[in-house]
Chains A and B, each alone.
Chain A
């Protein structure tokens, strides 16, 4: 059971909330309170737009425990438009082939059950391709 950890991470997981460095304006995700760019303290919250692009990816066929119900799925390194890179699942790919550099946007989805179907449901960020017909959002 990892309920306390899920609870502690909910802001960054649901809303992609990280930090911005007040000294050099570097955007930080995940939050770590120290700026990796200038080394100064950085505790100011910053909500990322959720827009980014696929930097690299791989498809998981043999999923770890808890994720097997969704296999196969693709995990990508996503470069957020504000700078930071993070690892996340891709979802709702449709018939679109995944390509390096493709535009993606953050959505909040079910990640897994903590334990079995009796456990708490863990929600978090994934990324999906930006729809060609989307005007915004």
Chain B
């Protein structure tokens, strides 16, 4: 599939848009991949990550989104009544019917003059919310919009996905570029119908279409999105100080980064999967919060998500001098990662509702 070179590929708002505030959240419980392997396979090496983040008994996508949104508010220092959209991207919304977004909006004081919706697009629902938020702010319809990517992903017990399916994410308050800590120059999205991963309604665990998971899905969509964004922006990998790619395991983002010409150093701050797991709709967005935590004014950042089904959103971001004063206004991503309580498989099974009580 190739795009006509003449098509206006970049998503570029009429009014320049940026990130006014951002916030991360990672729950404190961790289960080691080798602990999962102890129960199912006995393997001690060749595991996809070291450990993953597990939500506590009283946590879900709503509570986690509220904390990330509060962190974004601490950095943005704005009146919540001026937030005109609250969009939460996730594949683990607590309710089948009843929005996550209204509860988050209520908790941060953004009600009642606001849009509210839950977005779904596997692991790219969070960046989809960011693109939509760019639209609200960039069109002048609203001063601020809140976009969140957050998940409490579940893998079938014993399945390959159980080693990585994790919990965490980030929140972004978008606003005018001139009040932003980072300007979003443009975005580009690349979407096709690809059957690599899905979950049917009423099913607790997802399925994956093995032969579609790697090349035709993850690598194809990320490469196309990143390449088109950079071509249309007149940039190459060397123009970016940092890059973030969706991270279902450690190997995939390392490989796609290298194919696109990015170094290990460029992806290091945003590559969190080894210590928190694959946070699905939260994965690219929390890679970006961790990168913003250490970024300097003038740094250019490429962020590319991937969602099964399938598609990628790519963002070209330029950090401004407003970042320095805001980085320390809320808990940093690595500080959340450092708060950890290791749990065993039995506790994990209880926390994740894997034990049927009736």
Contacts and interface: CB of A to CB of B under 8 A. Distances in A.
Contacts of B56: 91-92, 109
Residue of B60, B95, B108, B339 with most partner-chain A CB within 10 A: B339
Interface in A36-57: 47
Interface string A73-107: 00000000000000001011011000000000001
B58 A15 contact: no
Interface residues of A, number: 27
A70 B74 CA distance: 30
A94 B330 contact: no
A136 interface: yes
Contacts of B332: 135
B107 A14 contact: yes
Contacts of B103: 14, 123
Interface in A53-78: 69-70
B132 interface: no
Interface stretch (B11-19, B65-73, B312-320): B65-73
B74 A137 contact: yes
Nearest to A133: B335
A10 interface: yes
A121 B28 CA distance: 22
A8 interface: no
Contacts of A120: 98
A131 B106 contact: no
A135 B107 contact: no
Contacts of A108: 63, 66-67, 107
A111 interface: yes
A70 to B, nearest CB: 5
Interface in A13-39: 14-15
Given A10-B106, A14-B107, A94-B341, A136 B328 contact: yes
Given A123-B103, A136-B74, A131 B339 contact: yes
B contact residues, range: 20 to 34
B94 interface: yes
Interface in B84-99: 94-95, 98
A133 B58 contact: no
B298 interface: no
Contacts of B66: 14, 108
A134 interface: yes
Contact of A70 (B57, B67, B94, B339): B57
B71 A137 contact: yes
A74 to B, nearest CB: 12
A135 to B, nearest CB: 5
A110 interface: yes
A46 to B, nearest CB: 13
Interface in B288-319: none
Nearest to B28: A92
B25 to A, nearest CB: 10
A108 B104 CA distance: 10
A94 B58 CA distance: 14
Contact of A107 (B63, B106, B338): B63
Interface of B: 28, 56-60, 62-63, 66-67, 70-71, 74, 94-95, 98, 103, 106-109, 328-332, 335, 338-339, 341
Given A121-B60, A137-B329, 16 more contacts: A14-B66, A14-B106, A15-B108, A70-B58, A89-B58, A92-B28, A109-B59, A110-B59, A110-B60, A123-B62, A123-B103, A133-B338, A135-B335, A136-B330, A136-B331, A137-B330
Interface of A: 10-11, 14-15, 47, 69-70, 89, 91-92, 94-95, 107-111, 120-121, 123, 126, 131, 133-137
> What are the 9 tightest A-B residue pairs by CB atom distance, in nearest-first order?
A109-B58, A137-B331, A14-B107, A137-B330, A94-B341, A110-B58, A108-B66, A133-B335, A135-B328
24 contacts: A14-B66, A14-B107, A15-B107, A15-B108, A70-B58, A89-B58, A91-B58, A92-B28, A108-B66, A108-B67, A109-B58, A109-B63, A110-B57, A110-B58, A110-B63, A123-B63, A123-B103, A126-B58, A131-B331, A131-B335, A135-B331, A136-B330, A137-B70, A137-B71
